[in-house]
Amino acid sequence: MNAALSAKALRHMHDVMPGYVERGEVPGLVTLVSRHDETNSDALGTRSIGGAGSQPVRRDTIFRIASMTKPITAVATMTLVQESKLHLDEPVDRLLPELAKRKVLKRIDRPLDDTVPAKRPITVRDLLTFQLGLGFLLAPPDSHPIVKAMYERQVGVTPFPAQMPHPPDEWMRRLGTLPLMYQPGESWLYHTGSDVLGVLIARASDQPLETFFRERIFEPLGMKDTSFSVPAGKLDRFVSCYSFSP
């Protein structure tokens, strides 16, 4: 990108991003573009909607990053691959025996006991590429027996905390009671592979996932405000959270 094009792109970003705040689509936001030795950042709007007590967004305001945990989990996995603690095409059975000897639904809308044996084990690569055979199926719980069972077992059929209330070992045990929706490597299904990787990383490194993230990724990169929770001393920089009502 040449200097003229870069300057034009930055001007466009500066012109466009305030509109999201002005239209009320978000209360506030931070933009940052960094290339070589140049960094451009804007902090716009407030940390919550309306009210005299609403504080302005600053560059160090803390936001939720939601699904951006997935690339961080992938980095952690590849770190362990580089150290030969994991191998991309090895079965996960060694560290995740809950996923050994899988059964697979004959059809995704069939009863849970209408299955065939998996053609091969689930591999680390399958988890990284979301092709383990389980994941989000964007359908109501009563539309498919497998979706209903995932809701009942609370194994993360949605990304909300209410669907992830169990500690890792219990979560894996519950997940292991389910058949796969598809054969390993056969179909892409969002999300669940990353959750399983979190358990795999903890077991391969023999430490909690959050500790591994902090010691091996966040601290070396200076990501001092990135974690699974916000400590009390930083809550004054944390944005409010909103969701859409139907």
pLDDT in tens, 222-243: 999 999 999 999 999 999 888 7
Per-block mean pLDDT, blocks of 10 residues, the chain (246 long): 71 92 92 87 90 82 90 97 97 97 96 97 98 88 88 74 77 96 96 95 97 97 94 93 74
Q: Give the model's pLDDT for residue 173.
A: 96
Q: Are residues 86 and 168 in the same domain?
A: yes
Residues belonging to the active site: 67
Q: Residue 133 domain-assigned?
A: yes
Q: Are residues 82 and 154 in the same domain?
A: yes
Q: Give the model's pLDDT for residue 10.
A: 87
179-204 per-position pLDDT tens digit: 999 999 999 999 899 999 999 999 99
Q: Give the model's pLDDT for residue 65.
A: 86
Q: Are residues 73 and 27 in the same domain?
A: no
Q: Are residues 202 and 137 in the same domain?
A: yes
Q: Give the model's pLDDT for residue 87.
A: 97
DSSP secondary structure string, the chain?
--HHHHHHHHHHHHHHTHHHHHTTS-SEEEEEEEETTEEEEEEEEBSSSSSTTPPBP-TT-B---GGGHHHHHHHHHHHHHHTTSS-TTSBGGGT-GGGSS-EEESSTTS-TT-EEE-SS--BHHHHHTT-SS-----S-GGG-HHHHHHHHHTS-SSSSGGG--S-HHHHHHHHTTSPBSS-TTT---SSHHHHHHHHHHHHHHTS-HHHHHIIIIITTTT-TT-SSS--GGGGGGBPP------
Q: Residue 245 domain-assigned?
A: no
Q: Give the model's pLDDT for residue 50.
A: 77
Mean pLDDT over the full length of the chain:
90
Q: Are residues 46 and 77 in the same domain?
A: no
Overall number of domains in the chain: 2
> What is the reported pTM?
0.87
Q: Residue 179 domain-assigned?
A: yes
Give the CATH number of the domain where residue 111 resides.
Answer: 3.40.710.10
Q: Residue 242 domain-assigned?
A: no
Q: Are residues 31 and 121 in the same domain?
A: no
The domain of 47 spans: 3-62+230-237
Q: Give the model's pLDDT for residue 243.
A: 74
Q: Residue 85 domain-assigned?
A: yes
Q: Are residues 74 and 182 in the same domain?
A: yes
Q: Are residues 111 and 164 in the same domain?
A: yes
